[in-house]
Structure 1
């Protein structure tokens, strides 16, 4: 049973052990990995446990450089880090994701404990390298490249003996250290055994992040996933190998690298003509064709292979290369997707709905679209039209909720000359007549007045329209696509919508899921961002921290709100890279206090923060752009902090 030492006793223990040149065994209750680190701290780094250094935070611009270099990892790790935090938040833990130099590039913790986190260094931008922080979970994990828990007096610095920290390394597909995933707590039971479950949990999530990163990096290659169980190979994916077309192994995850080592094989660190390339037939008793035929080899798309050296049985499945992006900015020569295919990527509900839409697009049926406001009903309607046999005819859209009731009738049905005061002298063809041969899209059909519902019903039933003031109906050939965010059946029961019109419109119903429920949010963000860049004739990219915030936001306004947020970000970004600082306030993650968003040095009190901010502005003669550049942020962010602290420029006080 371990106990938390007093600082003086802890210092004496560390010094006495590290000073004993003959000590080869760890002291009671201490692991070799800890005592090896203690010796490094004194003998290699010259650290003194009696003079613990305060937490060190890298400057804001340096932090951004570290985040930029870890951009792809941060983007991939976001979901795993947030999911892990949900498991451990109530237990008082925080999460640190550091790069391979020990700089914290992502942090999740309770904002109410922010001051304590900063004081101990459990915060964004903290440097946890062993040569500065001494023995600690992150720094020692980087040195030893293995998982560990650094519990209470395992730490070198007396400044950290109240902490318990568990860290696990994350490796890139070539086996080099990429990052460290750490969970830490300010308070915990005295026994180190209390952290055993924490260690297993962090190992699990580190592996998930590592494998997700692997799949992202090699998504354009064949990936062989295999396991000792046929039932779990498609779920567990314990072993991953990326393959070239001739069967050469390009990369392996940690489990697969360990298996290769057991079989006397190792992937070269760099591909070169002199490097001995390893092929799949060196590992398994098979030929490349046996691997590439797996998707067609058996009903469950799984095939069994044995290793050469151990004759061990494995079950393998093959993930084929993902499709290439079809249209990208600056490459208009690439063939465009079908208009309906462009609306979604891999969201199951959307793919099912779009498959039905493809079957319906040329059928002589009216279609009713349902979904929350902003989910893209008009875009779906236009895609249905553009995919149909009516695509060369007009697509006419009208929003029944946005048009004054007094104008809907004349706009829809048109009028003859002299019908009413102020009318055009030659009359006007209504939107229904303009849509002849094509598609009429009626958005927010639930807001159409009842008396006009009656007239629309007649148009649909008889396929003819009577303009206001007219005496002879005009034949029209139209297909109607109607949309509403309201429950039309409830409106029928309330007497607000005609039941017969509902059945005329409801030849088929297609429902659009809200953005928060969609599995392809990343695809939508990229698609909308690309469209906005094309409109502005601008080349830009979304940095990982901004993408993480966008993916984590709930989007109550759906795709319409997403478009507005990205327009705002493009307008405020001072470079061709959109960062989290450029997003609207409402999109910023509430659970993740981000130092990079703060225009302040790392200090405890808001009073001193405000003074530092005002001093920077005064030094630059209240030039907001110059002050923002020094502070490493965008002008909108600086304006927001000026508002928070009530700082007003002298020339704006009158």
Structure 2
């Protein structure tokens, strides 16, 4: 208690302008806690762990980052293994979305907040490494009583920010100890390790994004240039900066006399504004020359060594499907989407998971294609048949219908018996009655089930795929779905986007119309604008029904505006919807103004005028 009282008085003295012995970053955080967040240093607050549903949302938003960062954080954890460190990856809200720690310390780590789902924003937890790093954008150490809240006074936390290629803070990497040697300097090595890991994660992210652009990697030493560069910049064909690591942002900001915290002053400018580099001479900075000969200067006179990486060459003939980034996507999955980035990521993940026995959960709005994806995944895995259990129509009285019944020596087979060793799709699993959920738990967790009246469980060897309309985790929080069953079914989650958010609407429409008519269908120039403006509440199912209806009523494979249903044929409200419509078509065409003009039935100059008037950038 005396220690806590001394700590509280120190914070109060700092707030009144007394000289501080703490690091400036700690003092600044204390003042923010008092003045900005209105926190009371005398109030002790327990660690806050988000509910499962909220955590899942944070993890879904960070899924791509987690995937890119995983090898980096695992390598970092391996370096500190056996020293009682906990590794946390938090999103920009301060919520831990990835965690590596010693299972023997699990209970203590959860109580302290060094755990998955803990929120470490400065507004909630006070001065802490994650929160102060988010606020300041700088790597730092918050050691023991540096923490604002005395509850965390035993912790020693070291964090470094991770920035996206646009210069915005994306996440924070932290390694922490429940207790540590007293001197703060003992964590200097940890600070260097976490800073290096964050830099390498940023580098991996930039390289993944910039496969089709020039990348200029930079280092102060030629010996490490090609193996572990310090910074990197991606460039478009004209030599403009389109992406950067954080170290590159600081380097360019210093050379250009601007603030690195304002990335808009860096992105879009010519790289020659910051570096003595000519676009037509980049080939002289490739590996064809020794690293020691590839030196350049910044505009403020610092010498660096550079490694220019050429864009990947792409075929002049447009491929019908996006190239897979990390795994080969089988044709049965590729044909589910066109050039939509979100769907491409989902299909790559589905391809990676398809041949594994892990249960899958597919979520999405009605008509978004959940059953179609489930069948495609089964098609990749092969073996047996697909059996769909329509959970919405079941009641507690249907136990025998699903699980079968054993009465003496008589065995009445149920749906699971008929499924054989194939795939069982639990369609709309969130609507399964609680009694059947309890019976299904054994199948999801152990691979076996007990027929009604049976004494010995049966093991059918089924692969489970569940579909849910909406957020199944919310049903868990509301008590409508068993938490244990949810965690067994959601071995991996594939969230399907609604059609209105996809960028391949016209690709899908062309395919569905061609399938319905038996040949390609021509569309009048004004038709795509009306279809792009439609909200598509029925998603892919609504789009497919439209194609089938048009094929039934039209005498020829040409689609005019008057052929569309009335609610689609009406002119969009340009005052309220024009900006979103134009932005959507620009996204779908990859910023191609000519193609956008063709789809909207106007000329290029009209598109340019609308973009300027509505404040829409070309890159969407």
Distance 1:15 1:24, change over 3 A: closer
Cα distance in 2 between the residues matched to 1:49 and 1:268:
30
Partner of 1:219: 211
Distance 1:577 1:133, change over 3 A: farther
Q: CA deviation at 1:270?
A: 7.6
Task: Decide which of 302, 310, 313 is 1:320's aligned counterpart.
Answer: 310
Partner of 2:328: 527
Distance 1:124 1:542, change over 3 A: farther
Partner of 2:200: 208
Distance 1:291 1:122, change over 3 A: same
Q: 5+ unaligned residues in a row in structure 1: which ranges?
A: 1-6, 337-344, 346-521, 552-561, 585-616, 644-654
8 Å contact kept, 1:94–1:185: yes
Superposition pairs of residues 66-85 of structure 1, within 5 angstroms:
66-85=58-77
Cα distance in 1 between the residues matched to 2:163 and 2:34:
28
Cα distance in 2 between the residues matched to 1:23 and 1:335:
59
Partner of 1:573: 362
Q: CA deviation at 1:309?
A: 3.1
Cα distance in 1 between the residues matched to 2:118 and 2:315:
38
8 Å contact kept, 1:149–1:164: yes
Report the secondary structure of 1:193's partner residue. Answer: helix
Partner of 2:92: 100
Distance 1:40 1:623, change over 3 A: farther
Report the secondary structure of 2:237's partner residue. Answer: coil
Report the secondary structure of 1:90's partner residue. Answer: coil
Q: Which moved more, 1:208-217 or 1:533-542?
A: 533-542
Distance 1:634 1:87, change over 3 A: farther
Cα distance in 2 between the residues matched to 1:174 and 1:265:
19
8 Å contact kept, 2:7–2:150: no
Task: Decide which of 448, 470, 475 is 1:630's aligned counterpart.
Answer: 475
Partner of 1:639: 485
8 Å contact kept, 2:249–2:263: no
Cα distance in 2 between the residues matched to 1:113 and 1:289:
57
Report the secondary structure of 1:170's partner residue. Answer: strand
Distance 1:11 1:128, change over 3 A: farther
Task: Mark the structure with the bigger radius of gyration.
Answer: 1
Cα deviation digits, residues 20-55 of structure 1 (max 9, x gap): 55425313xx21211222222223322223321111
Partner of 2:181: 189
Q: CA deviation at 1:82?
A: 0.8
Q: CA deviation at 1:332?
A: 6.6
Cα distance in 1 between the residues matched to 2:50 and 2:322:
46
Task: Decide which of 291, 294, 298 is 2:282's aligned counterpart.
Answer: 291
Partner of 1:165: 157
Q: 5+ unaligned residues in a row in structure 2: which ranges?
A: 379-429, 438-467, 490-620
Task: Decide which of 167, 170, 174 is 1:175's aligned counterpart.
Answer: 167
Partner of 1:472: none
Cα distance in 2 between the residues matched to 1:15 and 1:209:
40
Cα distance in 2 between the residues matched to 1:288 and 1:148:
37
8 Å contact kept, 1:94–1:109: yes
Cα deviation digits, residues 455-482 of structure 1 (max 9, x gap): xxxxxxxxxxxxxxxxxxxxxxxxxxxx
Partner of 2:246: 254
Partner of 1:44: 36
Distance 1:569 1:634, change over 3 A: farther
Partner of 1:652: none
Aligned length: 394
- CA RMSD in angstroms comes to 4.2
8 Å contact kept, 2:217–2:225: yes
8 Å contact kept, 1:542–1:577: no
8 Å contact kept, 1:221–1:321: yes
Partner of 1:120: 112
Q: CA deviation at 1:176?
A: 1.8
Cα distance in 2 between the residues matched to 1:206 and 1:92:
20
Distance 1:333 1:23, change over 3 A: closer
Cα distance in 2 between the residues matched to 1:229 and 1:619:
62
Cα distance in 2 between the residues matched to 1:631 and 1:137:
32
Q: CA deviation at 1:80?
A: 0.5
